[in-house]
Structure 1
Amino acid sequence: MGFLRFIGFSVVRAWQGFWRNAMMSLATTATVVLMLVLLSGLYIVITGLNSGLTFIESKVGVTAQLVGKPDQPDLTSAQLDALITYTEALPGVKSVHYVSPDEALERLKEVYAQRGQKLELGKDPEHKISIYASIEILLTDPKMADSVASTLHERPEVVQITTKQ
């Protein structure tokens, strides 16, 4: 019973003190509210930056152009499967996707269509677009891009490496 009496006494004294020094009480309350608003704003900004960083890191990858002429890869399906299996076994590799020249051309057409343009593939051999077969590699850790790229660069099936960072 004494504890409840103490709580009641404390609440009454706090209420009286608040009204006796109303101006200071309002200033203190306003300061606390302002600090809480600033703190929540900082939390929102940090959360947004972390989300953006996670999104950007998820886009880091490696693309390996494969040997062969445009529209005519030189690799057999067994060689291609062996290269994909080898690449998937590398540390830091999340997934590997083979992109045929036809699929790459379709992607290019889609990019042009999204811009409101039409891809003109003329018959003139001087202006012909060369599209090669490639493998696209998504990484588990963006820091592994250089390691994966240097390992793949040693493979005879790979002509050129491009890292997306």
Structure 2
Amino acid sequence: MAVNFKYFLKESGSSMRRNMALTVAAVMVTSLSLIILGVVSMFVHTGNGLAADMKERVDEIRVFLDENVTVEERESLERHIRNMEEVRSVTYISKDEALEEFKKMYEDQQGMLDEIEGNPFPAEFKVQMKDPKYNNTVANRLESRPEVSTDENGKKEIKNPRDVVDKVLRWTGAIQKAGIVVVIAFGLVAVALVSITIRMAIYSRRKEIGIMKLVGATNWFIRWPFIFEGVVEGFLGAIVGIIFVLLINAWIISRVESAAENVNLVGGSYLALLSVFLICIGIFIGAVGSALALRRHIEV
């Protein structure tokens, strides 16, 4: 079996060299489809991770108070919120406490902290819901309260993270669907190119195949070199694709880490699993291309 394996591998290599242009085209299209698949997978993984992280805090809205609110008005609003059956808890954050929270969050960026003049942060209520589905209901009720501050556009300043989560999930879903369509299209082209390459190899060896049949070569002995050729082309396409995916990931990390620290990036374990997955898909593309060519263009 070891001798046969070496023979099959040698024959597939010779065939790939004879049809170098088609082989390179098949490898490149396979790698391109896998690059797209890999990048889309990383984006979806990051988007889902970000959404999942945000969902842990999505049951809380922040209600910013007007600068001129009196203690009595603030306490009245707090009682109003606490009496809502959808609300689990209410926490008041004063202006000074809001400033201290900001300083702790960015304590390693002293330059930015030095630029803060006075205390620009408003007082606020952090309102935690019994269930995230109540976020919009409670936020809408508070829109009419005069104690809530208003931005320059006349909109009440109520921060509802559920809106952001929904937007992230919508974009992630749209990109995932578009990516799948593109990957399928390129995958079909890659299968077709591998199939054409194998057909050319079969045609160029048609006399040799006839002689092998006459001397009693088994069906699979004749087929295996062509199957190996397709699998090798798919494997090479996967390796090229993985290299580019890793380079793209490294570039994204270098750009994102310099701009934001608390972003969920793709980790090494996920990249390892993704690489194995891409290799399997590449081999599958090559095997399917070989199978189609053998089924239609070789009778043994």
Q: TM class by shorter-chain length?
A: 0.5 to 0.7
% identical equivalent positions: 28
Matches within 5 A, 1:16-165: 56-57=55-56, 59-68=58-67, 74-113=68-107, 116-118=108-110, 119-122=112-115, 130-159=120-149, 160-165=157-162
Contact 1:62 1:138 (C-alpha < 8 Å) held by counterparts: yes
Q: Which AA in structure 2 matches 1:109?
A: K
Contact 1:57 1:142 (C-alpha < 8 Å) held by counterparts: no
Contact 1:67 1:75 (C-alpha < 8 Å) held by counterparts: yes
Residue equivalent to 1:10: none
Contact 1:121 1:129 (C-alpha < 8 Å) held by counterparts: no
Q: Secondary structure at the match of 1:144?
A: helix
Moved more, 75-84 or 128-137: 128-137
RMSD value, Cα: 2.6
Residue equivalent to 1:47: none
C-alpha separation between the residues in 2 aligned to 1:81 and 1:121?
A: 33
Q: Secondary structure at the match of 2:115?
A: coil
Summarize deviations over 1:61-105 as a string: whole Å, max 9, x none.
Answer: 11111111xxxxx22221111110000111211111111111000
Offset of residue 121 of structure 1:
3.2
Offset of residue 134 of structure 1:
1.0
TM-score calculated relative to the size of structure 1: 0.55
C-alpha separation between the residues in 1 aligned to 2:57 and 2:85?
A: 16
Q: Relative to 1, partners in 2 of residues 1:140 and 1:58: Cα closer, same or farther, differing over 3 Å? A: farther
Summarize deviations over 1:93-147 as a string: whole Å, max 9, x none.
Answer: 111111111100000001012xx32242337x7xx76211111101111000000
TM-score calculated relative to the size of structure 2: 0.32
Q: Secondary structure at the match of 2:106?
A: helix
Contact 1:104 1:131 (C-alpha < 8 Å) held by counterparts: yes
**Number of residues paired by the alignment?**
104
Residue equivalent to 2:283: none
Q: Considering fraction of residues, name the structure with more helix.
A: 2
Q: Considering fraction of residues, name the structure with more strand.
A: 1
